[in-house]
Structure 1
């Protein structure tokens, strides 16, 4: 028959080895559980409400895992304002903090290198000085005429996102809440029109960047091509809605670019393949 362990060994034995049942505790020891729960779990909930949330349009964007999310839509130069609401889960709790702030962040994330995150916009508003919260509070914020130079984008290797970030600074672990926004760029592109009327005059310049030969004279010709037969022109129709295209992006903050190409493959009777790629296709 085994002898019982001393009281101090019995208290140390069960949490780590799990071979003995824990000693009985009196109801007076229960507050330690709530202390640990408040320590490791969120003490209060953070929510962001925009002032024009009821009237502002929303846009859809796919996430990394293919899901579609809706967020409020903004354009370059628009102000962002609203309220940060802090709600305690349980009344009577206290939250000591070293300050509360909200940030408007625009950043580029490279999926193959999570540590290589570049912020091209970072605006900070201090909401509260270090102190203690004993009840739910709301804080107003406003970022005036925020510059948003690029359009929101998520692809296979890179993501460009805008978000509001609320941080409650604490000694051990900060409480952080991110609130995503979507930015679209308003841009007009000139129509490509190379047609020339029959009575027009072709005027231009010819530049010689590198000349290593002796030139006697130069000729300029107008060539006319006439094509007859069947099948030289094949009408096509490609619906872009099924491809979820994004706007063309060129050298975004010297981090990435997005371009589109039309790739044509012709197969003859002997299964030989002919390829033609049209560059410069613009989406958006």
Structure 2
């Protein structure tokens, strides 16, 4: 909207029937964004509906595609990894309503949209009608999401690990694999080989770790995405507890090893046992998450 002179609207093509993805902003508000894939073209139009008898003098009209990383840990840092601009109109005057099409074709959008605790990846379509006075520029923005599917090879390698306290506790736990798609199911079991302490309960947690920076300057921040109690009460020697965790019930993202040298996102399964004196015994194992479909 532009005051009493005109209504200016940014519209994207083919939104009807397009999938959307819901993301939670830092304020807790949920926002739904149209989904594009990493190699998909983006097109749309800038619609200018002029009020009768009005005109807009401008210094040019442009559209931008921006891929942006926001890091909010300690201090706000913003960097753009995609910055493309198209000139839609040269300087002139708009005397009547107009529809101005635009497109961005064959742009590599390699990083997925991500809304984490301290890190974000965003894609923005921005149109600007430039005025002589910069503060009176007419700006419209539309945020989109980019999600990419991958074809991971089938993983048949199970994970088996042991946790032990000499002459007190010896357990063995096993998961069916270490790579899971986001709607997969973790299957496993915990075998109690030796139990000489009284266990109160056992739980499994999915931990998301954002690593900001790299090398000696890297900072890790852990967030518990999900927690699932798998046993309540004291087990005995020889007993085994089955584990079944449906990942689709939780707000998870794929594993990102390196996002433009700014951050990475990894996931861990954390198995925790708590005894009657509230002492905690745990074992952590990294898993790889990937997006099978949209």
TM-score above 0.5, yes or no: yes
State the 1:258 CA deviation: 0.9
1:103 aligns with 2:64: yes
State the 1:109 CA deviation: 1.2
TM-score by length of 2: 0.65
Check the 8 A contact 1:109/1:118 in 2, yes or no. yes
| Corresponding residue to 1:262 among 265, 269, 289 | 269
Check the 8 A contact 1:94/1:134 in 2, yes or no. yes
Match of 2:238 in 1: 230
Unaligned runs of 5+ in 1: 1-37, 196-226
TM-score by length of 1: 0.68
Cα distance in 1, alignment partners of residues 132 and 125 from structure 2:
22
Cα distance in 1, alignment partners of residues 140 and 74 from structure 2:
23
| TM alignment of 1:36-47, pairs within 5 A | 41=3, 43-47=5-9
Alignment coverage as a number of residue pairs: 213
State the 1:113 CA deviation: 7.0
Compute the RMSD of aligned alpha carbons: 2.5
State the 1:249 CA deviation: 0.8
**Which one has the largest radius of gyration?**
1
Unaligned runs of 5+ in 2: 159-192, 195-236
Instruction: Name the SS for the 2:242 alignment partner.
Output: coil
1:153 aligns with 2:114: yes
Cα distance in 1, alignment partners of residues 4 and 138 from structure 2:
8
Cα distance in 2, alignment partners of residues 114 and 97 from structure 1:
37
State the 1:149 CA deviation: 0.5
| TM alignment of 1:30-69, pairs within 5 A | 41=3, 43-69=5-31
Distance 1:253 1:43, change over 3 A: farther
State the 1:69 CA deviation: 2.0
Where is the strand percentage greater, Structure 1 or Structure 2? 2
Instruction: Name the SS for the 1:246 alignment partner.
Output: coil
Where is the helix percentage greater, Structure 1 or Structure 2? 1
State the 1:139 CA deviation: 0.3
Match of 1:180 in 2: 143
Check the 8 A contact 2:21/2:34 in 1, yes or no. yes
Match of 1:143 in 2: 104
Check the 8 A contact 2:36/2:146 in 1, yes or no. yes
